[in-house]
A and B are shown apart, each in its own frame.
Chain A
Protein backbone atom coordinates (compact mmCIF):
# COMPACT_ATOMS: atom_id res chain seq x y z
CA UNK A 1 0.00 0.00 0.00
CA UNK A 2 1.38 3.47 -0.79
CA UNK A 3 2.31 5.73 2.09
CA UNK A 4 -0.58 8.18 1.83
CA UNK A 5 -3.07 5.35 2.05
CA UNK A 6 -1.52 4.02 5.25
CA UNK A 7 -1.57 7.43 6.91
CA UNK A 8 -5.18 7.90 5.78
CA UNK A 9 -6.13 4.45 7.06
CA UNK A 10 -4.63 5.32 10.43
CA UNK A 11 -6.52 8.60 10.49
CA UNK A 12 -9.84 6.96 9.54
CA UNK A 13 -9.63 4.58 12.46
CA UNK A 14 -8.29 7.10 14.93
CA UNK A 15 -4.92 5.42 15.47
CA UNK A 16 -2.25 7.50 17.13
CA UNK A 17 1.45 7.64 16.40
CA UNK A 18 3.33 5.18 18.58
CA UNK A 19 6.02 6.61 20.78
CA UNK A 20 4.97 10.20 20.14
CA UNK A 21 5.61 12.70 22.89
CA UNK A 22 2.47 13.44 24.93
CA UNK A 23 1.43 17.03 25.60
CA UNK A 24 2.79 18.59 28.77
CA UNK A 25 -0.46 18.38 30.80
CA UNK A 26 -0.94 14.79 29.64
CA UNK A 27 2.64 14.02 30.61
CA UNK A 28 2.13 15.44 34.10
CA UNK A 29 -1.06 13.39 34.52
CA UNK A 30 0.69 10.19 33.49
CA UNK A 31 3.58 10.95 35.79
CA UNK A 32 1.17 11.50 38.66
CA UNK A 33 -0.50 8.18 37.87
CA UNK A 34 2.91 6.50 38.31
CA UNK A 35 3.65 8.13 41.66
CA UNK A 36 3.51 4.80 43.48
CA UNK A 37 6.03 3.35 41.07
CA UNK A 38 8.32 6.33 41.70
CA UNK A 39 8.27 5.84 45.47
CA UNK A 40 8.48 2.04 45.26
CA UNK A 41 11.44 2.24 42.88
CA UNK A 42 13.25 4.71 45.17
CA UNK A 43 12.69 2.60 48.29
CA UNK A 44 13.70 -0.57 46.46
CA UNK A 45 16.94 1.01 45.25
CA UNK A 46 17.69 2.27 48.73
CA UNK A 47 17.15 -1.04 50.49
CA UNK A 48 18.94 -3.11 47.86
CA UNK A 49 21.96 -0.82 48.17
CA UNK A 50 23.27 -2.33 51.41
CA UNK A 51 21.52 -5.69 51.34
CA UNK A 52 24.81 -7.49 50.67
CA UNK A 53 26.57 -5.98 53.71
CA UNK A 54 26.65 -7.75 57.06
CA UNK A 55 25.59 -4.64 58.94
CA UNK A 56 22.83 -4.11 56.41
CA UNK A 57 20.75 -0.98 56.72
CA UNK A 58 22.99 0.32 59.51
CA UNK A 59 25.23 1.63 56.73
CA UNK A 60 22.54 4.14 55.84
CA UNK A 61 23.59 6.02 58.97
CA UNK A 62 27.23 4.89 59.16
CA UNK A 63 28.22 6.13 55.70
CA UNK A 64 27.30 9.80 56.27
CA UNK A 65 28.79 9.73 59.78
CA UNK A 66 32.09 8.35 58.50
CA UNK A 67 32.09 10.98 55.77
CA UNK A 68 31.62 13.72 58.32
CA UNK A 69 34.41 12.26 60.48
CA UNK A 70 36.85 12.31 57.56
CA UNK A 71 36.01 15.90 56.71
CA UNK A 72 36.33 16.90 60.36
CA UNK A 73 39.77 15.36 60.53
CA UNK A 74 40.99 17.13 57.38
CA UNK A 75 39.31 20.50 57.61
CA UNK A 76 38.73 20.87 61.32
CA UNK A 77 41.93 19.38 62.72
CA UNK A 78 44.58 19.50 59.99
CA UNK A 79 43.62 22.70 58.18
CA UNK A 80 42.05 24.48 61.15
CA UNK A 81 39.12 25.81 59.11
CA UNK A 82 37.11 25.78 62.30
CA UNK A 83 38.71 28.98 63.56
CA UNK A 84 36.05 31.62 63.90
CA UNK A 85 33.19 29.18 63.37
CA UNK A 86 31.24 28.37 66.52
CA UNK A 87 29.75 24.86 66.82
CA UNK A 88 32.08 23.68 64.07
CA UNK A 89 31.10 20.01 64.16
CA UNK A 90 27.35 20.58 63.63
CA UNK A 91 28.26 23.28 61.11
CA UNK A 92 30.44 20.87 59.13
CA UNK A 93 28.17 17.86 59.39
CA UNK A 94 25.11 19.81 58.26
CA UNK A 95 27.09 21.14 55.34
CA UNK A 96 28.34 17.71 54.32
CA UNK A 97 24.93 16.06 54.54
CA UNK A 98 23.04 18.76 52.68
CA UNK A 99 25.72 18.94 50.01
CA UNK A 100 25.78 15.16 49.62
CA UNK A 101 22.05 15.25 48.97
CA UNK A 102 22.50 17.59 46.00
CA UNK A 103 25.65 15.88 44.80
CA UNK A 104 24.34 12.33 44.75
CA UNK A 105 20.98 13.42 43.33
CA UNK A 106 22.73 15.02 40.39
CA UNK A 107 25.19 12.17 39.97
CA UNK A 108 22.53 9.46 39.95
CA UNK A 109 20.28 11.68 37.83
CA UNK A 110 23.00 11.84 35.17
CA UNK A 111 22.85 8.05 34.88
CA UNK A 112 19.10 7.79 35.39
CA UNK A 113 18.33 7.10 31.73
CA UNK A 114 21.63 5.73 30.45
CA UNK A 115 21.93 3.33 33.39
CA UNK A 116 18.38 2.03 33.04
CA UNK A 117 18.27 1.63 29.31
CA UNK A 118 16.88 -1.89 29.70
CA UNK A 119 13.96 -0.60 31.71
CA UNK A 120 13.36 2.25 29.28
CA UNK A 121 13.31 -0.17 26.37
CA UNK A 122 11.03 -2.69 28.04
CA UNK A 123 8.27 -0.75 29.74
CA UNK A 124 6.12 2.24 29.13
CA UNK A 125 6.09 5.04 31.66
CA UNK A 126 6.95 8.74 31.67
CA UNK A 127 10.73 8.73 31.74
CA UNK A 128 10.84 11.63 34.19
CA UNK A 129 9.86 9.03 36.78
CA UNK A 130 13.47 7.79 36.78
CA UNK A 131 15.42 10.96 37.69
CA UNK A 132 12.70 11.95 40.15
CA UNK A 133 12.83 8.53 41.72
CA UNK A 134 16.59 8.74 42.13
CA UNK A 135 16.26 12.13 43.82
CA UNK A 136 13.64 10.67 46.11
CA UNK A 137 16.04 7.86 46.99
CA UNK A 138 18.64 10.46 47.94
CA UNK A 139 16.05 12.34 49.98
CA UNK A 140 15.31 9.17 51.92
CA UNK A 141 19.03 8.68 52.40
CA UNK A 142 19.29 12.24 53.68
CA UNK A 143 16.53 11.64 56.20
CA UNK A 144 18.62 8.80 57.66
CA UNK A 145 21.56 11.18 57.80
CA UNK A 146 19.40 13.83 59.46
CA UNK A 147 18.52 11.37 62.19
CA UNK A 148 22.25 10.88 62.78
CA UNK A 149 22.69 14.64 62.68
CA UNK A 150 20.08 15.17 65.37
CA UNK A 151 22.01 12.79 67.60
CA UNK A 152 25.21 14.75 66.94
CA UNK A 153 23.43 18.03 67.69
CA UNK A 154 22.14 16.61 70.92
CA UNK A 155 25.56 15.29 71.95
CA UNK A 156 27.23 18.62 71.09
CA UNK A 157 24.74 20.41 73.31
CA UNK A 158 22.80 22.29 70.63
CA UNK A 159 19.34 22.71 72.16
CA UNK A 160 16.22 21.78 70.15
CA UNK A 161 14.45 24.88 68.91
CA UNK A 162 11.30 25.88 67.09
CA UNK A 163 13.44 26.87 64.10
CA UNK A 164 13.99 23.15 63.39
CA UNK A 165 10.61 23.23 61.64
CA UNK A 166 12.25 25.31 58.89
CA UNK A 167 14.02 22.11 57.83
CA UNK A 168 10.84 21.05 56.02
CA UNK A 169 10.47 23.99 53.60
CA UNK A 170 14.24 24.11 53.10
CA UNK A 171 14.41 20.44 52.17
CA UNK A 172 11.36 20.69 49.92
CA UNK A 173 12.91 23.54 47.94
CA UNK A 174 16.22 21.73 47.72
CA UNK A 175 14.50 18.55 46.52
CA UNK A 176 12.75 20.45 43.71
CA UNK A 177 16.03 22.08 42.76
CA UNK A 178 17.87 18.74 42.75
CA UNK A 179 15.17 17.03 40.71
CA UNK A 180 15.27 19.83 38.14
CA UNK A 181 19.04 19.70 37.71
CA UNK A 182 18.90 15.89 37.63
CA UNK A 183 16.40 15.96 34.78
CA UNK A 184 18.57 18.36 32.78
CA UNK A 185 21.58 16.08 33.26
CA UNK A 186 19.54 12.93 32.68
CA UNK A 187 18.71 14.18 29.20
CA UNK A 188 22.30 15.26 28.59
CA UNK A 189 23.62 11.95 29.94
CA UNK A 190 21.21 9.95 27.79
CA UNK A 191 22.59 11.60 24.64
CA UNK A 192 26.23 11.85 25.71
CA UNK A 193 27.15 9.21 28.29
CA UNK A 194 30.57 10.85 28.68
CA UNK A 195 28.95 13.52 30.85
CA UNK A 196 28.83 10.98 33.66
CA UNK A 197 32.63 10.82 33.61
CA UNK A 198 32.89 14.59 33.73
CA UNK A 199 30.38 15.29 36.46
CA UNK A 200 32.47 14.24 39.49
CA UNK A 201 34.98 16.98 38.69
CA UNK A 202 32.33 19.62 38.12
CA UNK A 203 30.63 18.62 41.36
CA UNK A 204 33.85 18.65 43.37
CA UNK A 205 34.66 22.14 42.15
CA UNK A 206 31.14 23.22 43.01
CA UNK A 207 31.51 21.71 46.48
CA UNK A 208 34.66 23.65 47.31
CA UNK A 209 32.94 26.87 46.22
CA UNK A 210 29.83 26.22 48.31
CA UNK A 211 31.12 26.65 51.82
CA UNK A 212 30.58 23.07 52.86
CA UNK A 213 33.59 22.93 55.18
CA UNK A 214 34.17 26.61 55.71
CA UNK A 215 32.01 29.62 56.35
CA UNK A 216 31.43 31.87 53.35
CA UNK A 217 30.55 34.59 55.81
CA UNK A 218 33.87 34.37 57.65
CA UNK A 219 35.77 34.29 54.38
CA UNK A 220 34.00 37.38 53.04
CA UNK A 221 34.59 39.37 56.20
CA UNK A 222 38.31 38.62 55.85
CA UNK A 223 38.41 39.78 52.24
CA UNK A 224 36.50 43.02 52.20
CA UNK A 225 38.45 44.13 49.14
CA UNK A 226 36.82 41.52 46.85
CA UNK A 227 34.63 43.01 44.09
CA UNK A 228 30.93 42.89 44.85
CA UNK A 229 30.08 40.50 42.02
CA UNK A 230 32.28 37.81 43.56
CA UNK A 231 30.38 38.26 46.81
CA UNK A 232 27.06 38.07 44.97
CA UNK A 233 28.02 34.93 43.09
CA UNK A 234 29.27 33.18 46.21
CA UNK A 235 26.13 34.02 48.13
CA UNK A 236 23.63 33.26 45.34
CA UNK A 237 25.13 29.82 44.72
CA UNK A 238 22.12 27.52 45.18
CA UNK A 239 24.09 24.86 47.05
CA UNK A 240 25.39 27.46 49.50
CA UNK A 241 21.91 28.89 49.93
CA UNK A 242 20.37 25.51 50.82
CA UNK A 243 23.26 24.62 53.12
CA UNK A 244 23.03 27.92 54.97
CA UNK A 245 19.26 27.63 55.31
CA UNK A 246 19.67 24.25 56.93
CA UNK A 247 22.36 25.55 59.29
CA UNK A 248 20.17 28.48 60.20
CA UNK A 249 17.30 26.11 60.95
CA UNK A 250 19.32 23.70 63.06
CA UNK A 251 22.22 25.50 64.72
CA UNK A 252 21.52 28.01 67.41
CA UNK A 253 24.73 29.96 66.94
CA UNK A 254 24.21 30.35 63.20
CA UNK A 255 22.57 33.78 63.08
CA UNK A 256 20.17 35.23 60.53
CA UNK A 257 22.79 37.92 59.82
CA UNK A 258 25.03 35.22 58.32
CA UNK A 259 22.41 34.40 55.70
CA UNK A 260 22.57 36.09 52.32
CA UNK A 261 19.90 38.81 51.75
CA UNK A 262 16.44 37.60 50.58
CA UNK A 263 17.53 34.04 51.22
CA UNK A 264 14.07 32.40 51.01
CA UNK A 265 13.29 34.24 47.78
CA UNK A 266 16.59 33.10 46.29
CA UNK A 267 16.01 29.52 47.45
CA UNK A 268 12.49 29.47 45.97
CA UNK A 269 13.71 31.11 42.78
CA UNK A 270 16.39 28.48 42.23
CA UNK A 271 13.92 25.68 42.96
CA UNK A 272 11.34 27.00 40.49
CA UNK A 273 13.89 27.81 37.81
CA UNK A 274 15.56 24.40 37.97
CA UNK A 275 12.39 22.43 38.69
CA UNK A 276 10.13 23.85 35.99
CA UNK A 277 12.91 24.45 33.47
CA UNK A 278 14.44 21.02 34.01
CA UNK A 279 11.10 19.26 33.72
CA UNK A 280 10.21 20.95 30.43
CA UNK A 281 13.70 20.41 29.07
CA UNK A 282 13.50 16.72 29.94
CA UNK A 283 10.01 16.31 28.51
CA UNK A 284 11.07 17.88 25.19
CA UNK A 285 13.20 14.82 24.42
CA UNK A 286 10.83 12.23 25.91
CA UNK A 287 10.40 10.26 22.68
CA UNK A 288 14.13 9.93 22.06
CA UNK A 289 15.09 8.14 25.30
CA UNK A 290 15.93 4.53 24.58
CA UNK A 291 17.80 5.21 21.40
CA UNK A 292 21.47 4.36 21.16
Chain B
Protein backbone atom coordinates (compact mmCIF):
# COMPACT_ATOMS: atom_id res chain seq x y z
CA UNK B 1 0.00 0.00 0.00
CA UNK B 2 2.91 2.33 0.73
CA UNK B 3 4.26 1.87 -2.79
CA UNK B 4 0.94 2.91 -4.22
CA UNK B 5 1.04 6.11 -2.25
CA UNK B 6 4.25 7.24 -3.88
CA UNK B 7 2.89 6.72 -7.37
CA UNK B 8 -0.40 8.50 -6.96
CA UNK B 9 0.62 11.53 -4.99
CA UNK B 10 -2.09 12.85 -2.71
CA UNK B 11 -2.67 16.58 -2.60
CA UNK B 12 -1.32 17.86 0.69
CA UNK B 13 -4.53 19.56 1.72
CA UNK B 14 -6.64 16.45 1.03
CA UNK B 15 -8.79 15.58 4.03
CA UNK B 16 -8.27 12.17 5.57
CA UNK B 17 -11.12 9.79 4.65
CA UNK B 18 -12.24 7.29 7.29
CA UNK B 19 -14.96 5.43 5.42
CA UNK B 20 -15.24 5.01 1.65
CA UNK B 21 -18.21 3.23 0.11
CA UNK B 22 -17.64 2.33 -3.50
CA UNK B 23 -20.74 1.23 -5.42
CA UNK B 24 -22.12 -0.87 -2.59
CA UNK B 25 -24.91 -3.39 -3.23
CA UNK B 26 -26.37 -5.39 -0.38
CA UNK B 27 -28.70 -8.30 -0.95
CA UNK B 28 -30.62 -10.35 1.60
CA UNK B 29 -31.53 -13.93 0.82
CA UNK B 30 -34.79 -15.01 2.35
CA UNK B 31 -35.70 -18.70 2.47
CA UNK B 32 -39.20 -20.10 2.46
CA UNK B 33 -40.90 -17.63 0.16
CA UNK B 34 -42.39 -17.93 -3.28
CA UNK B 35 -43.78 -20.99 -5.03
CA UNK B 36 -43.08 -24.05 -2.91
CA UNK B 37 -43.28 -22.25 0.39
CA UNK B 38 -42.16 -24.57 3.14
CA UNK B 39 -43.16 -27.75 1.34
CA UNK B 40 -40.98 -30.83 1.57
CA UNK B 41 -40.01 -30.79 -2.09
CA UNK B 42 -39.00 -27.16 -1.90
CA UNK B 43 -36.84 -27.92 1.10
CA UNK B 44 -35.19 -30.82 -0.69
CA UNK B 45 -34.61 -28.57 -3.66
CA UNK B 46 -32.92 -26.03 -1.43
CA UNK B 47 -30.48 -28.55 -0.06
CA UNK B 48 -29.69 -30.33 -3.30
CA UNK B 49 -29.54 -27.45 -5.76
CA UNK B 50 -28.86 -24.36 -3.76
CA UNK B 51 -26.92 -22.40 -6.32
CA UNK B 52 -28.72 -23.24 -9.53
CA UNK B 53 -32.29 -23.07 -8.34
CA UNK B 54 -32.40 -20.30 -5.76
CA UNK B 55 -35.52 -18.83 -7.32
CA UNK B 56 -37.20 -22.16 -7.97
CA UNK B 57 -36.58 -23.31 -4.43
CA UNK B 58 -38.33 -20.26 -3.05
CA UNK B 59 -35.32 -18.18 -2.07
CA UNK B 60 -36.07 -14.54 -2.64
CA UNK B 61 -33.46 -11.87 -3.12
CA UNK B 62 -34.13 -8.60 -1.37
CA UNK B 63 -32.04 -5.80 -2.76
CA UNK B 64 -31.66 -3.65 0.34
CA UNK B 65 -28.96 -1.22 -0.84
CA UNK B 66 -28.01 -0.47 -4.44
CA UNK B 67 -25.01 1.31 -5.85
CA UNK B 68 -24.27 3.58 -2.88
CA UNK B 69 -20.99 5.53 -2.98
CA UNK B 70 -19.74 8.16 -0.55
CA UNK B 71 -16.61 9.29 1.25
CA UNK B 72 -16.69 10.16 4.95
CA UNK B 73 -13.89 12.24 6.45
CA UNK B 74 -12.32 12.48 9.85
CA UNK B 75 -14.24 14.62 12.30
CA UNK B 76 -17.52 14.45 10.42
CA UNK B 77 -20.83 13.55 11.98
CA UNK B 78 -23.05 12.12 9.27
CA UNK B 79 -26.77 11.54 9.56
CA UNK B 80 -28.55 8.80 7.65
CA UNK B 81 -32.19 9.50 6.87
CA UNK B 82 -34.92 7.92 4.79
CA UNK B 83 -38.29 6.28 5.24
CA UNK B 84 -38.67 2.89 6.94
CA UNK B 85 -37.03 0.07 5.02
CA UNK B 86 -34.88 2.36 2.93
CA UNK B 87 -31.70 0.52 3.87
CA UNK B 88 -30.19 2.83 6.50
CA UNK B 89 -29.51 0.23 9.16
CA UNK B 90 -28.38 -2.26 6.56
CA UNK B 91 -25.84 0.19 5.19
CA UNK B 92 -24.62 0.88 8.71
CA UNK B 93 -24.09 -2.81 9.36
CA UNK B 94 -22.16 -3.17 6.13
CA UNK B 95 -19.90 -0.26 7.09
CA UNK B 96 -19.26 -2.06 10.35
CA UNK B 97 -18.26 -5.11 8.31
CA UNK B 98 -21.04 -7.16 9.84
CA UNK B 99 -23.05 -7.72 6.68
CA UNK B 100 -21.24 -8.87 3.56
CA UNK B 101 -21.70 -6.70 0.46
CA UNK B 102 -22.86 -8.27 -2.79
CA UNK B 103 -21.02 -5.89 -5.11
CA UNK B 104 -18.68 -2.98 -4.57
CA UNK B 105 -16.39 -2.33 -1.64
CA UNK B 106 -16.36 -0.53 1.66
CA UNK B 107 -12.99 0.74 2.85
CA UNK B 108 -12.52 1.80 6.43
CA UNK B 109 -9.83 3.26 8.61
CA UNK B 110 -9.64 0.97 11.62
CA UNK B 111 -12.61 -1.01 12.82
CA UNK B 112 -15.94 0.85 12.81
CA UNK B 113 -18.19 -0.33 15.59
CA UNK B 114 -21.91 -0.35 15.97
CA UNK B 115 -23.13 1.08 19.24
CA UNK B 116 -25.18 -1.80 20.52
CA UNK B 117 -24.59 -4.85 22.60
CA UNK B 118 -28.15 -6.17 23.09
CA UNK B 119 -27.58 -9.43 21.27
CA UNK B 120 -24.79 -10.53 23.57
CA UNK B 121 -26.74 -10.10 26.78
CA UNK B 122 -28.78 -12.87 28.41
CA UNK B 123 -31.95 -12.07 30.26
CA UNK B 124 -31.53 -14.95 32.72
CA UNK B 125 -28.26 -13.57 34.03
CA UNK B 126 -27.85 -10.82 36.60
CA UNK B 127 -27.14 -7.27 35.48
CA UNK B 128 -23.67 -7.57 36.95
CA UNK B 129 -22.75 -10.61 34.87
CA UNK B 130 -24.25 -9.01 31.80
CA UNK B 131 -21.98 -6.00 32.21
CA UNK B 132 -19.01 -8.35 32.12
CA UNK B 133 -20.36 -10.44 29.27
CA UNK B 134 -21.29 -7.41 27.18
CA UNK B 135 -17.93 -5.77 27.77
CA UNK B 136 -16.07 -8.90 26.74
CA UNK B 137 -18.27 -9.26 23.67
CA UNK B 138 -17.34 -5.74 22.61
CA UNK B 139 -13.69 -6.64 22.90
CA UNK B 140 -12.85 -4.95 26.18
CA UNK B 141 -10.30 -6.61 28.42
CA UNK B 142 -11.19 -7.86 31.89
CA UNK B 143 -9.18 -5.05 33.45
CA UNK B 144 -10.99 -2.39 31.42
CA UNK B 145 -14.32 -3.81 32.50
CA UNK B 146 -13.31 -3.93 36.14
CA UNK B 147 -12.10 -0.35 35.89
CA UNK B 148 -15.30 0.94 34.32
CA UNK B 149 -17.79 -1.34 36.06
CA UNK B 150 -18.84 1.18 38.67
CA UNK B 151 -19.17 3.94 36.08
CA UNK B 152 -21.39 1.74 33.92
CA UNK B 153 -23.67 0.89 36.82
CA UNK B 154 -23.82 4.50 38.03
CA UNK B 155 -24.50 5.81 34.56
CA UNK B 156 -27.34 3.36 34.01
CA UNK B 157 -28.93 4.45 37.29
CA UNK B 158 -30.01 0.82 37.87
CA UNK B 159 -29.01 0.91 41.50
CA UNK B 160 -30.69 4.24 42.25
CA UNK B 161 -33.76 2.48 43.65
CA UNK B 162 -32.06 -0.41 45.40
CA UNK B 163 -29.73 -3.23 44.56
CA UNK B 164 -31.07 -4.23 41.16
CA UNK B 165 -27.79 -5.01 39.48
CA UNK B 166 -27.61 -8.37 41.28
CA UNK B 167 -31.03 -9.44 39.94
CA UNK B 168 -31.56 -11.26 36.63
CA UNK B 169 -32.15 -8.88 33.73
CA UNK B 170 -35.53 -10.48 33.00
CA UNK B 171 -36.84 -8.89 36.19
CA UNK B 172 -36.00 -5.38 34.93
CA UNK B 173 -38.61 -3.07 33.51
CA UNK B 174 -38.12 -2.41 29.81
CA UNK B 175 -36.79 1.06 30.58
CA UNK B 176 -34.25 -0.24 33.08
CA UNK B 177 -33.12 -2.90 30.65
CA UNK B 178 -32.54 -0.50 27.81
CA UNK B 179 -30.71 1.90 30.13
CA UNK B 180 -28.31 -0.79 31.20
CA UNK B 181 -27.81 -1.89 27.59
CA UNK B 182 -27.00 1.61 26.49
CA UNK B 183 -24.62 2.11 29.41
CA UNK B 184 -22.70 -1.04 28.52
CA UNK B 185 -22.55 -0.16 24.84
CA UNK B 186 -21.40 3.37 25.57
CA UNK B 187 -18.58 2.27 27.86
CA UNK B 188 -16.14 1.67 25.05
CA UNK B 189 -14.28 4.23 22.93
CA UNK B 190 -14.57 3.85 19.18
CA UNK B 191 -12.68 5.08 16.08
CA UNK B 192 -15.62 5.16 13.74
CA UNK B 193 -18.86 5.12 15.65
CA UNK B 194 -22.13 3.93 14.17
CA UNK B 195 -25.28 4.75 16.11
CA UNK B 196 -28.62 3.25 15.22
CA UNK B 197 -31.72 5.07 16.41
CA UNK B 198 -33.77 4.06 19.43
CA UNK B 199 -30.70 3.49 21.56
CA UNK B 200 -31.19 6.53 23.72
CA UNK B 201 -34.35 5.43 25.47
CA UNK B 202 -35.51 5.72 29.05
CA UNK B 203 -36.85 8.65 31.02
CA UNK B 204 -36.03 12.30 30.42
CA UNK B 205 -33.08 12.34 32.78
CA UNK B 206 -31.51 9.32 31.13
CA UNK B 207 -32.19 10.64 27.63
CA UNK B 208 -30.28 13.79 28.49
CA UNK B 209 -27.43 11.79 29.99
CA UNK B 210 -27.17 9.58 26.92
CA UNK B 211 -27.29 12.54 24.55
CA UNK B 212 -24.37 14.01 26.48
CA UNK B 213 -22.54 10.73 26.31
CA UNK B 214 -23.06 10.48 22.54
CA UNK B 215 -21.65 13.99 22.13
CA UNK B 216 -18.68 13.00 24.24
CA UNK B 217 -18.07 9.88 22.19
CA UNK B 218 -18.29 11.98 19.04
CA UNK B 219 -15.47 14.12 20.32
CA UNK B 220 -13.28 11.03 20.73
CA UNK B 221 -14.34 9.16 17.61
CA UNK B 222 -12.96 10.03 14.20
CA UNK B 223 -16.31 9.87 12.44
CA UNK B 224 -19.86 9.33 13.63
CA UNK B 225 -22.75 7.92 11.64
CA UNK B 226 -26.21 8.39 13.10
CA UNK B 227 -29.39 6.74 11.91
CA UNK B 228 -32.47 8.52 13.19
CA UNK B 229 -36.04 9.33 12.35
CA UNK B 230 -35.92 12.39 14.56
CA UNK B 231 -35.17 15.35 12.34
CA UNK B 232 -34.25 17.48 15.31
CA UNK B 233 -31.67 14.97 16.53
CA UNK B 234 -30.10 14.88 13.07
CA UNK B 235 -30.00 18.69 12.92
CA UNK B 236 -28.44 18.91 16.35
CA UNK B 237 -25.82 16.24 15.85
CA UNK B 238 -24.82 16.14 12.20
CA UNK B 239 -23.35 18.58 9.72
CA UNK B 240 -23.77 16.28 6.76
CA UNK B 241 -26.66 14.02 5.78
CA UNK B 242 -27.06 11.04 3.47
CA UNK B 243 -30.61 10.45 2.31
CA UNK B 244 -31.43 6.90 1.31
CA UNK B 245 -34.64 5.97 -0.46
CA UNK B 246 -35.38 2.40 -1.61
CA UNK B 247 -31.76 1.51 -1.09
CA UNK B 248 -30.45 4.24 -3.35
CA UNK B 249 -28.54 7.31 -2.28
CA UNK B 250 -30.95 10.09 -3.12
CA UNK B 251 -29.00 13.02 -1.75
CA UNK B 252 -25.71 13.73 0.01
CA UNK B 253 -24.90 17.17 1.32
CA UNK B 254 -24.94 19.70 4.17
CA UNK B 255 -27.61 18.99 6.77
CA UNK B 256 -29.93 21.93 6.16
CA UNK B 257 -30.00 21.45 2.40
CA UNK B 258 -30.80 17.73 2.55
CA UNK B 259 -33.24 18.04 5.43
CA UNK B 260 -35.24 20.66 3.58
CA UNK B 261 -35.53 18.44 0.52
CA UNK B 262 -36.39 15.46 2.72
CA UNK B 263 -39.08 17.36 4.57
CA UNK B 264 -40.62 18.49 1.31
CA UNK B 265 -40.58 14.85 0.24
CA UNK B 266 -42.28 13.59 3.40
CA UNK B 267 -44.66 16.53 3.63
CA UNK B 268 -43.15 17.59 6.95
CA UNK B 269 -42.28 21.05 5.73
CA UNK B 270 -44.18 23.04 8.40
CA UNK B 271 -42.42 21.63 11.43
CA UNK B 272 -39.11 22.72 10.01
CA UNK B 273 -39.68 26.39 10.88
CA UNK B 274 -39.37 25.77 14.59
CA UNK B 275 -35.79 25.72 15.72
CA UNK B 276 -35.03 22.25 17.03
CA UNK B 277 -36.03 22.01 20.69
CA UNK B 278 -33.57 20.65 23.20
CA UNK B 279 -34.68 17.06 23.90
CA UNK B 280 -34.59 17.42 27.65
CA UNK B 281 -36.47 20.71 27.64
CA UNK B 282 -39.23 19.16 25.58
CA UNK B 283 -39.65 16.27 27.95
CA UNK B 284 -42.97 16.26 29.79
CA UNK B 285 -41.58 15.26 33.17
CA UNK B 286 -39.59 18.16 34.59
CA UNK B 287 -39.91 16.65 38.07
CA UNK B 288 -37.69 13.76 37.14
CA UNK B 289 -34.97 16.02 35.87
CA UNK B 290 -35.23 18.63 38.57
CA UNK B 291 -33.87 17.15 41.83
CA UNK B 292 -30.35 16.48 40.69
CA UNK B 293 -28.09 19.13 39.30
CA UNK B 294 -26.89 18.19 35.83
CA UNK B 295 -25.10 14.88 36.36
CA UNK B 296 -21.76 14.69 34.65
CA UNK B 297 -21.99 11.85 32.20
CA UNK B 298 -18.44 10.73 32.71
CA UNK B 299 -18.32 7.18 31.45
Contacts and interface: CB of A to CB of B under 8 A. Distances in A.
A220 interface: no
Nearest to A15: B107
B1 A11 contact: yes
A47 B71 contact: no
Contacts of B107: 6-7, 10, 15-18
A51 B122 CA distance: 11
6 pairs of A and B residues whose beta carbons are closest in the complex? A19-B97, A48-B124, A10-B107, A118-B119, A15-B107, A37-B136
A18 B114 CA distance: 13
Interface stretch (B3-11, B147-155, B207-215, B275-283): B3-11
A51 B168 contact: yes
A124 interface: yes
Given A6-B20, A13-B10, A41-B133, A124 B97 contact: yes
Interface centre among B28, B113, B116, B124 (most CB of A within 10 A): B124
A44 B124 CA distance: 9
Interface in B35-72: 43, 46-47, 50, 69, 71
Given A6-B22, A9-B20, A11-B4, A192 B137 contact: no
26 contacts: A6-B107, A10-B22, A10-B107, A11-B8, A13-B17, A14-B2, A16-B108, A17-B105, A17-B106, A19-B97, A19-B98, A19-B101, A36-B141, A37-B136, A48-B124, A48-B125, A122-B118, A123-B98, A123-B117, A124-B98, A124-B113, A124-B139, A192-B50, A193-B31, A290-B99, A290-B100
Nearest to B46: A194
Contact of A47 (B4, B30, B120, B125): B125
Contacts of B31: 193, 292
B195 to A, nearest CB: 13
B120 A119 contact: yes
A122 B47 CA distance: 28
A18 B137 contact: no
Interface string A109-130: 0000000101111111100000
Given A11-B4, A19-B106, A291-B29, A192 B125 contact: no
A177 to B, nearest CB: 26
Interface of B: 1-2, 4-5, 8, 10, 14, 16-20, 22-23, 28-31, 43, 46-47, 50, 69, 71, 93-101, 105-109, 111-114, 116-120, 122, 124-125, 129, 132-133, 136-139, 141-142, 168
A157 interface: no
Q: What class of interface size applies to chain A in its complex with B?
A: 35 or more
Contact of B109 (A15, A45, A48, A193): A15
Nearest to B15: A13
A57 to B, nearest CB: 12
B108 A14 contact: no
B100 A288 contact: yes
A12 B142 contact: no
Given A194-B47, A291-B99, A1 B69 contact: yes
B227 to A, nearest CB: 14
A8 interface: yes
Nearest to B116: A122
Nearest to B108: A18
Contacts of A292: 28-31
Nearest to B30: A292
A40 interface: yes
A52 interface: yes
Given A6-B22, A36-B141, A40-B136, 8 more contacts: A1-B71, A8-B8, A15-B18, A18-B19, A122-B117, A123-B98, A125-B139, A290-B99
Interface string A1-42: 101001111111111111110000000000001101100110
A14 B113 CA distance: 19
A40 B132 contact: yes
A288 B98 CA distance: 9
Given A18-B108, A124-B96, A124-B113, A12 B5 contact: yes
Contacts of A124: 96-98, 111, 113, 139
A125 B97 contact: no
Given A122-B117, A122-B118, A123-B119, A18 B112 contact: yes
